[in-house]
């Protein structure tokens, strides 16, 4: 059986950083990488046929945009599988993780304020709560400061900033 590492991918810089980290981990562990982009549930049908056509076009556009982003990222991360899921992000990622029998789920994390987290929620926090698989929440690593940007006489420790 092949070990898989699932990456929740939503085209953000944090997701890209998480995907690159997971790719390095997958390479070291000889595991397969599975990139999953979650899109919202399709809009329900309406009694008006012209609204149905517009809603179907929006649903198809969301899916094709997600698939194109996954293909582009998978091209950079050689050998990655891709999948588009529908629903709420944390629930959909947990379901795919259980269905595909992955060993680890990796998601990026954005530093947002308490109010933003309260109003919009955090996919990473919710996923840790509901996923039956281990979840690694990856915080985006900014490159270390260059010597030109470091104040004179300052010592920059690579692990502390």
Dist. CA 63–CA 52, nearest whole Å: 16
Tell me: the pLDDT tens digits for 15-37?
889 999 999 999 998 999 999 99
Dist. CA 19–CA 138, nearest whole Å: 9
Strands (E), the chain: 4-8, 32-39, 81-86, 104-109, 135-139
pLDDT of the residue at 40 = 83
pLDDT of the residue at 154 = 46
The CATH number that domain 4-139 falls under is: 3.40.50.620
* Averaged pLDDT of the chain: 80
pTM of the model: 0.74
pLDDT of the residue at 112 = 63
Tell me: the pLDDT tens digits for 57-104?
888 888 888 888 888 888 778 778 899 999 999 999 999 999 988 999
pLDDT of the residue at 71 = 85
User: How many angstroms from the chain centroid is the CA of residue 50?
Assistant: 34
Where does 107-153 have alpha helices with state H?
Answer: 114-120, 123-130
Domain chopping of the chain, boundaries? 4-139
Tell me: the pLDDT tens digits for 108-160?
987 666 655 555 568 888 999 999 999 999 886 555 445 554 445 444 445 44
Dist. CA 31–CA 27, nearest whole Å: 6
């Amino acid at each position: 059986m092949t070990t898989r590492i699932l990456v929740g991918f939503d085209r953000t810089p944090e997701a890209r950083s998480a995907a690159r980290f997971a790719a390095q981990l997958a390479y070291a562990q000889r595991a397969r990488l599975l990139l999953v982009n979650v899109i919202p549930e399709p809009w329900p049908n309406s009694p008006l046929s012209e609204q149905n056509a517009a809603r179907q076009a929006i649903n198809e556009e969301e899916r094709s945009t997600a698939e194109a982003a996954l293909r582009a990222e998978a091209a950079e991360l050689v050998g990655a599988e891709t999948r588009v899921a529908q629903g709420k992000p944390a629930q959909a990622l947990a379901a795919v993780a259980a269905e595909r029998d992955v060993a680890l789920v990796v998601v990026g994390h954005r530093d947002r304020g308490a109010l933003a987290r309260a109003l919009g929620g955090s996919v990473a926090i919710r996923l840790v709560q509901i996923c039956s698989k281990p979840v690694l929440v990856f915080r985006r690593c900014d490159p270390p400061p260059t010597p030109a940007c470091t104040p004179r006489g300052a010592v920059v420790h690579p692990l502390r900033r």
